[in-house]
Each structure stands twice: as C-alpha cells, then as structure tokens.
Structure 1
C-alpha cells in the first residue's frame, strides 16, 4: 500500500455568509496540509489536502440582543446565550476576567479533524491559530463548548467524551466559565492564549503518513485542485 506524508499545516479562511445581521459574521477555517508523494517528490503542482475545519462566529457587543443573533443561526450557537444579558456579556462572566470590557465575542461552534489525522494536536493548533488571526488582541471573549461530534451511544459515554474534550481544549488556553462550567472561555487581553499557542507551535513541523487510498480529489471547478482525507 502506497503512503503519502502530510506536513506543513496551514489555514484557509472563508466567510460562510450565514448571518442576516450586521453585528455578526460567520466563518470557516479550513485546515490544509501539503503532501509528499510516495517517491519523495513534491512540487508546486502537488495539491493541498483538506484535513479538517473549525466553524466560528464573531459578533459585536452592544449592537443587537445577542440571544437573537445566536438563535438565528443554530442550536449549537444558541447554547451560549445564557452567557449574555441583552446586548452585553453577562456581568458574572466579565467578573471572571477582572471585569474587562468585551467589545467582540468569538464563538467556536464546531471543530472536526479527519479521523486518520487525529492524535497530532491539529485541532488544538487550528483553534489556537484561528484565535490569533481572527480575534482582536485585547477586547475579545473567546468561547467554545467541548462536545463530542456525532451521536453518543449513552449518557455515560457522552459525559466521558465531554470531560476528555474539556481537558484537551484547555490546552488552547481556555478555562471553564464559572457560571456555566461546561463552556470554556478566555479573554484575549490575557497572555494565556498567546502562551498556549506558543506551546502548540511544534505542530508546524508535524509529519503524518496516510495511505494514498484515503486521499480523494475534490471537485473544485475553476479553483485550484485539492484533496480530502477520508476515513
């Protein structure tokens, strides 16, 4: 079985245009890797490989009732609504972060990395880099709910999965929100997120071998060709 080596992760940002409000924008960060063919040849024409993605939204505080913004998107987004009071961040959440003013909120609603590529911290790296690129450096509240993707067989397995994911996402620099510990958050005004990103920078040098049979070409029309990792 021939094998390809995936390396050099990078991110492509795309506006998904799902919001009907000026106060909120929705985005997808796509995780791409270059790959080395089995004979060790790599060139400019070698397609990148789509390895996963993170969906997130950014909203402006003080412009519109935040429940309405989140409710207009999905149940995943609405789950965060209790952390807000009308068009502002709830005072209990602000107190947790020394009552710092938040002008923007970044909510990561979904992260998915192709199954054959898990175990290499690509998901944590993707989120850390996305926060650094897309969140303003001093006045953004970053939020994430660490829930398992896909259906769970029972409540015990769901709880175990959520607990493990909570520990994993805390490596990005997030911490449990005191008023709603199932949700993780952090202020960009602290250095915590920057320090966590620095620790995850080793992922820049990751090299992962996958069977070439798990790489399929995407139908991209006139856009440059790209492959996708399948299970």
Structure 2
C-alpha cells in the first residue's frame, strides 16, 4: 500500500469556515485511495488563495516536507499556474484523485492545456466584444441596443468592466452549483458508476436536479466534471 499525504485547499475564509468544497474534496480523495491502494498517513487543510505559490503556504509546505506523494482532489487545489506545478514535480510525486492514473508528465501537460484554455477563453471574450462594437458601428440595431443597455447601467468608459463583472458573476454561479453536486458525483463514482451516463442516471434517481431544475444527461455531467477540474476557485 502506498503511503500518501492528503492536501486540501479552500480559497476564502468563508469557504474555510463553512466547509464549502472541503467535503467533496475529501470524498474524491477517499474514493481514489480505496480504488488504488493509497493510505493517507497525514492530511493538511488550508484556506488560502491559489495564486500564492504552494511552497509559500504553511500547510502545503508541511505536506511537502514529508517527502511522500501528495494527493489532492483536483490539480487546481495545488495551483493553476503551470510553473508552480512544474516546480512541485521536482520535489514530490503528485497524485490527483480525479485523474488517479496520471503521472507527473501527464499532469504537467494537463496544467499547461488548462492554462492555455483560460487564455483562449479570455481572448474569445475580447474578440466577441470587439465584434459587437464593430456591428454597432456598422449600423446593426440589435448590437446598438445591447451596447446602449450596458451603457445605461455603467458609464461609457466602463463597458469592459461591466462585461467582465457579468461574466464573473455567471462563472461564479456555475462554479457554486458545480460544488453543490460535487459530493454526489463522487458518491456515484465510489459506487462504481464511472460512465457519464451512469452518473447521470444516479443523479436523476436521487432527484438531484440540474441548475435549471431538469434531469441530467451525459453531456451535462461532462460539463460539470470539466468545470470541477479547472474551475476558477
């Protein structure tokens, strides 16, 4: 049996006090440990922003000091910065409960792809805003009205800020919902429901509804899993 150190991180004081996300993280780790013969010999919990380098976080530093593999529920519990991840890999072996078979090279690749995707999303948002402005300048009445609606809420010079704020609110709402169903998905996986369709059926049987109040499909489960892996907590 492989001895591992469990590390859990929540991002804000309120999350730390309420346990938001912590229960789900532990459920993922416990499921992975049972399935792959890992034994947690110590665990560390920290309430800190993911922007702080892992080695500069007191509890994470303690976890690393053991010299044993460190297991986390999701890679972003360590960091979303690919440089941080690469630095950690030089010190310890990393285990991720949501990707238990991945080795350090694969995790490094995943971190790089996730960082690139975030950059792509940012660029696409900027391009969509510019396209809207271009259509408005070309006389498109719908685009003109959309810009006018935003301007009525924010000053003309703050349109980008208003758009970013609205996008952040939508993202936060989606992330919060994903967190509320995370433990149920982990429970489904622990009971052997490993396919997207099987998880969807598990959720529907237990009357756990989607964010819109409907039933789950494999596609919706896939979207939630992706958000849980690369969410912006």
Higher relative contact order (CA 8 A, sep 6+): 1
Q: Shared topology, TM-score over 0.5?
A: no
Larger radius of gyration: 2
Select the structure that is richer in strand: 1
Task: Give the TM-score normalised by structure 1.
Answer: 0.25
Task: Give the TM-score normalised by structure 2.
Answer: 0.25
Select the structure that is richer in helix: 2
